[in-house]
Amino acid sequence: MDTHVAIVGVGLTPLRPVSPDLSFREMIFEAATRAYADAGVRPGDVDTFVTVAEDFHEGTSITDEYTPDQLGAVRRPVHTIAGDGLQGLAAAYALIRSGAAEVAVVEAHSKASNIVHHEEVLALAMDPIYERPRRLNPHAVAGLEMRRYLHEAKISPDVCSQVVVKNRGNALRNPFAAYGAVLSPEEVRRSPPLAEPLHELEVSGYADGAVVLVLASAEAARRLPGQAVAIRGIGWASDEPSLSGRPWAQAVYARLACEMAYRMAGIRDPAEEIDLLELDDTYAYKELQHLEAALRLEVGEGAQLTAAGRTALGGALPVNPSGGSLGMGYGYDASALVRTAMAVLQIRGAGGPLQVAGAHSAAVVSWRGIPTTSGGAVVLGAL
């Protein structure tokens, strides 16, 4: 088991659909203050800081300019990963294992409520020559992908509705979640279609919030008072960026990322060795794809597990006990770190009403959203 690096502190603000009372800097300050207190460190004890942000989500170019002050990181080694939260986690992980740092901080945040037209920002991520002229709405791309998935999985869209019901129901118990609700599968199917077969309630709602994690080498973790959870393995991967050349039913990036993390963690049978999963569910069908990637299943087998209730909070392998993005809210690249924080609380036994009994290990799988084919995976375990 690889126990070189541990998460020793987590801090986050509750996710909320709007946050008119707080700037992103104030949210980060709050999350950092909580994380440092949880880990028992002061900013001066931190050797390196990694932040996660994309310019167009922030509305600011070179957005890493605005990262240091609220983290207590002025004149310290700070850099940004313009990517997924788990890629940021991987960057900090590598800096610790390389010997360049003993204690590292990873920060991500979302001020999605500042974005007036999300679809138009996402459309700018399409290839400017081959794809953008088609003027595709990003949800239409998700609709295409969902249709192909349902076709190859040979399942009805009701399984996706079931994912929504499960995750938003789980979120009712989560004080950090914005979108807890009691829903029926019929209500989900009856919600307005966005791009058939994708319906409105199958898409995560946006949320504002900030999350900060404190990482430490095994040696430093022993010294610090925070309750450490080991990063047993971490992986990330990008698949084909073009819409025309990618596989549509399988999340190959997630499979590659999970295999890298499992190799590092020495995991042979993920379904047996992992107690809970926090999987990207930006769209309900993505949870099924990511479940199949995480458990090395064939297309459709994850949907069968879900239909059988195995992934419910009291099931054999709970998936998204936090409520996932559908239940907590979607904060772009911060989502994966929020879910990592949730998984850390579970392994500490501090999950409160969400606690999965006997949770000793967890895996988090992320995706960067439409139109990307990039994601990450991390395996966490009790020290």
Partner 1 sequence: MGRPARRVAVVGAGLSLFVRRALETGKELAYYAASGALASAGLRRRDVQAVVMASAPDAFDGVHMKGEYLSDGAGGWRKPYFRSYVGGGSGVFSIISGWSLVASGLFDVVLVVAEEKMSPTQPHPQAAFNSIFDHTIERPLGPNLLWIFALEQHRYMHAYGIRNEEIALVSVKNKRNALDHPAAQVAAAVTLEDVLASEVVAWPVHRLMVSPVSDGAAAVVLAAEDVAKRLTDRPVWVEGIGWTLDTSYWGNRDLAYPRYVEDAARMAYRMAGITDPRRQIHVVEPYDPFAYKELHHLEGLLLAERGKAPEDLARGRFDRDGELPSCPSGGLLGVGNPIAAAGLMKICELYWQLRGEAGKRQVANSPRRGLAQAWGDLMQIGTVVVLGV
Provide the 8-state DSSP code for 15: P
Phi, psi of 100 (to 5 degrees): -75, -20
Size of the site for partner 1 (CB under 8 A): 63
Nearest approach in angstroms of CB 161 to partner 1 is: 30
Interface residue with partner 1 among 18, 55, 119, 316 (CB under 8 A) is 55
Interface residue with partner 1 among 81, 251, 276, 343 (CB under 8 A) is 81
The residue among 99 and 358 lying less far from partner 1, judged by its C-beta, is 99
The residue among 129 and 357 lying less far from partner 1, judged by its C-beta, is 129
The residue among 60 and 156 lying less far from partner 1, judged by its C-beta, is 60
Residue 80 contacts partner 1 per CB under 8 A: yes
Single out the segment in contact with partner 1 by CB under 8 A; choices: 10-18, 205-213, 250-258, 293-301: 250-258
Single out the segment in contact with partner 1 by CB under 8 A; choices: 53-61, 291-299, 300-308, 312-320: 53-61
Lookup: tokens for 278: 């926090």
Q: Which residues have a Cβ under 8 Å from the Cβ of 66 and sit 6 or more positions away?
A: 24, 25, 58, 60
The residue among 69 and 298 lying less far from partner 1, judged by its C-beta, is 69
Instruction: Specify the 3-state DSSP secondary structure of 74.
Output: coil
Q: Of 112-141, which residues contact partner 1 (CB under 8 A)?
A: 121-122, 124-125, 127-129
Single out the segment in contact with partner 1 by CB under 8 A; choices: 30-38, 198-206, 301-309, 368-376: 368-376
Residue (of 150, 42, 55) closest to 105 by Cα position: 42
Interface residue with partner 1 among 368, 378, 379, 380 (CB under 8 A) is 368
Interface residue with partner 1 among 142, 163, 212, 260 (CB under 8 A) is 260
Q: What is the Cα–Cα distance from 337 to 28, expressed in whole angstroms? A: 13
Nearest approach in angstroms of CB 327 to partner 1 is: 25
Q: What is the Cα–Cα distance from 54 to 64, expressed in whole angstroms? A: 9
Burial letters 81-120, b for 16+ CB under 10 A, else e: bebbbbbbbbbbbebbeeeebbbbbbbbbbbbeebeeeee
Residue 65 contacts partner 1 per CB under 8 A: yes
Q: What is the Cα–Cα distance from 293 to 287, expressed in whole angstroms? A: 10
Half-sphere exposure of 175 (CA within 13 A, CB side): 8
User: Contact at 8 Å (CB) between 25 and 70?
Assistant: yes
The residue among 25 and 348 lying less far from partner 1, judged by its C-beta, is 25
Phi, psi of 361 (to 5 degrees): -145, 150
Q: How many CB atoms lie within 10 A of CB 7?
A: 32
The residue among 31 and 234 lying less far from partner 1, judged by its C-beta, is 234
**CA-CA-CA-CA torsion for 148, 154, 156, 160, nearest 10 degrees?**
-60
Interface residue with partner 1 among 44, 99, 192, 358 (CB under 8 A) is 99
DSSP string of 269-296, one letter each residue: -HHHH-SEEEE--SBHHHHHHHHHHHTT
Provide the 8-state DSSP code for 176: T
The residue among 72 and 300 lying less far from partner 1, judged by its C-beta, is 72
The residue among 83 and 331 lying less far from partner 1, judged by its C-beta, is 83
Residue (of 45, 36, 285) closest to 167 by Cα position: 285
The residue among 253 and 285 lying less far from partner 1, judged by its C-beta, is 253
Nearest approach in angstroms of CB 304 to partner 1 is: 27
The residue among 256 and 274 lying less far from partner 1, judged by its C-beta, is 256
Q: What is the Cα–Cα distance from 280 to 326, expressed in whole angstroms? A: 9
Residue 95 contacts partner 1 per CB under 8 A: yes
Residue 237 contacts partner 1 per CB under 8 A: yes
Return residues touching partner 1 (CB under 8 A): 47, 54-56, 59-62, 64-69, 73-84, 87, 90-91, 93-102, 121-122, 124-125, 127-129, 235-242, 252-253, 256-257, 260, 368, 371-372, 374
